[in-house]
């Protein structure tokens, strides 16, 4: 199945703005500038003199200004994600970003002055003002950045250079990736076809090895043709990060990500250690088992996600996928399903792949006053159903948390993956329960194990790769060969000796956009997967009242940290047993596959 049928829905962004040239958008830009100037005139240099209620009023006004910025930037970003090749859209998106950057420069003082408030005075203001206490969780997170903030003039320079600095390199990377095409020969017919990157990557899931190999070689060839640019982008962004981290006195390249994720470094270290220690019992064991099933001594790298039998993953229509996911959600919580239904009733999802469209999938929260949008590249496979369940989980989470307001609805990445991975697990369990055919059950279970390995093992390997790249870059610019060597080393460790990393695989690092967009983001996937596995085990053991507590967790958004949110379930991410429990779920699925092999 190809998911390019015209019947597949696309999103309608008019809930944000009617169009790039609309009067509403122009008015919001003008209002943003006026409000920012008025806010600076009213509050700059005066925060220390305000009462608790007055400071709360200032925060509320600042939140309103930021929400308008968010609406403008969300519209520009989503419009661009829909067509990265349209030069007019690209110019529009860049123009909006530059205008917001210019407007918001006068607001830099606000977080700096908040952080310079004396601890005693700040705590007293929180205690005396209920309105300020409402913003307490957000204010406390802002104040954690105090050791890393610079003088106002330096912050202004960094702010101004955002639009010509790292973000420009990210734009270059995205637009380059979007323009790539892959000419893949068809071994059966002797003809060739030209595919987008999403379509070429999807070919790695083909049942015929010759087609997978042809796709893998085409990917390698095109990536290698562009590797000089991708190497330059990677080097530049790593150095840019090192410079800013040094000025801000972050102790390690990943430290700023931990702070943004509101997670302690030792908790992440415990997760990474637990996963890496489990490589032999998880990925190594599974790929040895899969190689045996496929009658091979080793899997080639293009076999990693291969199905076992021709035609075993039959096409699933979009309408079928909707029913599968919503029924699974509804069996757990009717409220969860009702919120999810809105995304299908309204034009909030962009479904079909097409040239120029952003690759992968995401859920964009936009702002609380509007609603999230989902982007998919639906190809009709089981994993695409799981991707829908995943992104819909994000969307439902964002809708439920919206009542917290802009500042408190924003969930750190580690907890943001909770609803998405939980939605996947609900969907998988429902599909597994409905499958009685042994071969189909094995296929479904194998697909889930592969997805979980990609979410846990692969993402921790990515995180390790980033750590090594940033450490190596600190000693000088890296060549493509340097980066490829690190990539192969990390991939070999995580995948084990049952997978052969063939010539050409050394350049596959270049299409992992998380390395470019959000350095060290990737561990959040493993965090979320292991967290959900522990949560789901709790649900299966004690289902009574679980759904209500879970919905409260989602509705809390970013108003609480992971310790407070997990406490009602008796879970603690600081406990090493927490991670072992999460990994045990994955191990149990592999156990079942071994028993039925």
165-183 pLDDT, tens digit per residue, is 899 999 999 999 989 999 9
CA distances from 419 to 35, 180, 187, 349, 584 (A): 35, 33, 42, 18, 20
> Across residues 553-561, what is the average pLDDT?
92
State residue 468 phi and psi, 5-degree precision: -70, -40
Per residue in 291-347, pLDDT tens?
999 999 999 999 999 987 644 567 899 999 999 999 999 999 999 999 999 999 999
- 21-38 mean pLDDT: 98
User: Are residues 244 and 154 in contact, defined by beta-carbon separation less than 8 angstroms?
Assistant: no
pLDDT at 3: 41
In a domain, 58, yes or no: yes
CA dist., res. 395 & res. 311, Å (int): 32
> Looking at the DSSP assignment, which residues form a beta bridge with residue 192?
185
Choice among 93-102, 219-228, 309-318, 416-425 with the minimum mean pLDDT:
309-318
Within a domain: 222: no
Rounded CA Rg of the chain: 24
CA distance 411 to 513: 21
pLDDT (0 to 100) of residue 313: 61
Helix (H) or strand (E) holding 300: strand 299-300
Structural domain boundaries, residue 140? 13-164
**Is there a contact between 413 and 521 (Cβ–Cβ < 8 Å)?**
yes
Max CA-CA distance within the chain? Answer: 78
Beta strands 499-500 and 349-350, pairing class? unpaired
Which whole-number Å values give the CA distances from 359 to 179, 196, 200, 202, in the listed order?
A: 11, 9, 11, 12
DSSP code at position 280 = I
Q: Give first-to-last CA distance, the chain, whole Å.
A: 29
* pLDDT tens profile 217-266: 999 999 999 999 999 999 999 999 999 999 999 999 999 999 998 889 99
Tell whether 362 is covered by a domain: no
Structurally, the chain folds into a number of domains equal to 1
Structure tokens at 173: 């990377």
Tokens encoding 490: 């990390």
CATH label of the domain that carries residue 148 = 1.20.140.70
Query: Is 204 domain-assigned?
Result: no
Task: Tell me if 117 is assigned to some domain.
Answer: yes
Within-domain flag for 123: yes
- Asked if residue 403 has pLDDT above 60, the reply is yes
pTM recorded for the entire structure: 0.83
DSSP 8-class letter at 504: T
Nearest to 307 by CA among 442, 436, 422: 442
Q: Is 27 part of any domain?
A: yes
Q: Is residue 132 part of a domain?
A: yes
Distance between CA atoms of residues 400 and 336, nearest Å: 9
Asked if residue 278 has pLDDT above 90, the reply is yes
Share of the chain above pLDDT 70, in %: 98
């Amino acid at each position: 199945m190809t998911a390019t049928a015209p019947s597949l829905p696309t999103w309608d962004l008019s809930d944000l703005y009617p169009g790039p040239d609309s009067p509403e958008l122009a008015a919001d830009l003008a209002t943003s500038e006026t409000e920012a100037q008025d806010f600076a005139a009213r509050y700059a240099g005066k925060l220390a003199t305000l009462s608790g209620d007055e400071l709360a009023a200032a925060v509320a006004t600042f939140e309103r200004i930021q929400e308008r910025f968010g609406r403008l930037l969300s519209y520009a970003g989503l419009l661009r994600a829909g067509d990265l090749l349209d030069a007019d859209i690209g110019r529009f998106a860049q123009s909006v970003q530059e205008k917001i950057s210019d407007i918001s420069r006068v607001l830099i003082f606000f977080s700096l002055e908040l952080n310079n408030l004396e601890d005693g005075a700040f705590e007293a203001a929180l205690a005396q003002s209920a309105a300020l206490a409402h913003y307490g969780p957000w204010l406390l997170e802002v104040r954690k950045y105090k050791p890393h903030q610079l003088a106002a003039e330096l912050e202004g320079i960094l702010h101004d250079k955002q639009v010509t600095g790292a973000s420009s390199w990210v734009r270059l990377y995205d637009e380059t990736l979007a323009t790539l095409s892959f000419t893949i020969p068809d071994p059966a017919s002797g003809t060739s076809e030209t595919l987008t990157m999403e379509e070429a990557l999807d070919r790695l899931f083909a049942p015929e090895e010759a087609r997978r190999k042809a796709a893998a070689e085409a990917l390698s060839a095109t990536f290698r043709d562009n590797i000089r640019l991708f190497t330059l982008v990677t080097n530049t962004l790593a150095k840019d990060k090192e410079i800013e981290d040094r000025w801000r006195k972050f102790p390690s390249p990943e430290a700023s990500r931990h702070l943004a994720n509101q997670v302690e470094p030792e908790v992440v270290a415990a997760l990474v250690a637990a996963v890496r220690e489990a490589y032999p019992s998880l990925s190594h064991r599974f790929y040895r088992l899969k190689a045996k099933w496929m009658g091979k001594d080793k899997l080639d790298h293009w076999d990693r996600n291969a199905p076992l039998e021709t035609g075993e993953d039959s096409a699933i229509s979009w309408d079928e996928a909707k029913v599968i996911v919503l029924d699974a959600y509804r069996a757990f919580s009717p409220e969860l399903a009702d919120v999810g239904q809105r995304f299908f009733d309204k034009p909030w999802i962009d479904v079909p792949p097409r040239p120029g469209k952003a690759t992968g999938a995401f859920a964009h929260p936009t702002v609380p006053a509007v609603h999230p949008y989902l982007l998919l590249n639906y190809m009709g496979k089981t994993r695409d159903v799981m991707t829908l369940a995943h992104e819909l989980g994000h969307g439902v989470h964002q809708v439920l948390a919206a009542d917290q307001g802009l500042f408190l609805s924003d969930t750190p990445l580690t907890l943001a993956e909770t609803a998405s991975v939980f939605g996947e697990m609900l969907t998988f369990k429902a599909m597994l329960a409905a499958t009685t055919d042994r071969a189909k059950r094995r296929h479904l279970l194998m697909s889930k194990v592969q997805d979980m390995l990609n979410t846990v093992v692969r993402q921790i390997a990515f995180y390790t790769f980033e750590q090594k790249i940033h450490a190596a870059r600190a000693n000088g610019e890296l060549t493509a060969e340097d980066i490829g060597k690190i990539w192969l080393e990390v991939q070999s460790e995580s995948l084990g000796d049952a997978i052969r990393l063939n010539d050409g695989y050394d350049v596959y690092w270049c299409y992992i956009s998380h390395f470019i967009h959000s350095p060290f983001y990737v561990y959040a996937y493993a965090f979320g997967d292991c967290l959900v596995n522990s949560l789901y085990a709790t649900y299966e053991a004690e289902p009574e009242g679980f759904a209500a507590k879970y919905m409260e967790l989602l509705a809390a958004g970013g108003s609480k940290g992971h310790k407070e949110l997990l406490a009602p379930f008796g879970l603690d991410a600081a406990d090493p047993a927490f991670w072992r429990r999460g990994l045990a779920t994955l191990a149990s699925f592999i156990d079942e596959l071994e028993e039925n092999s």
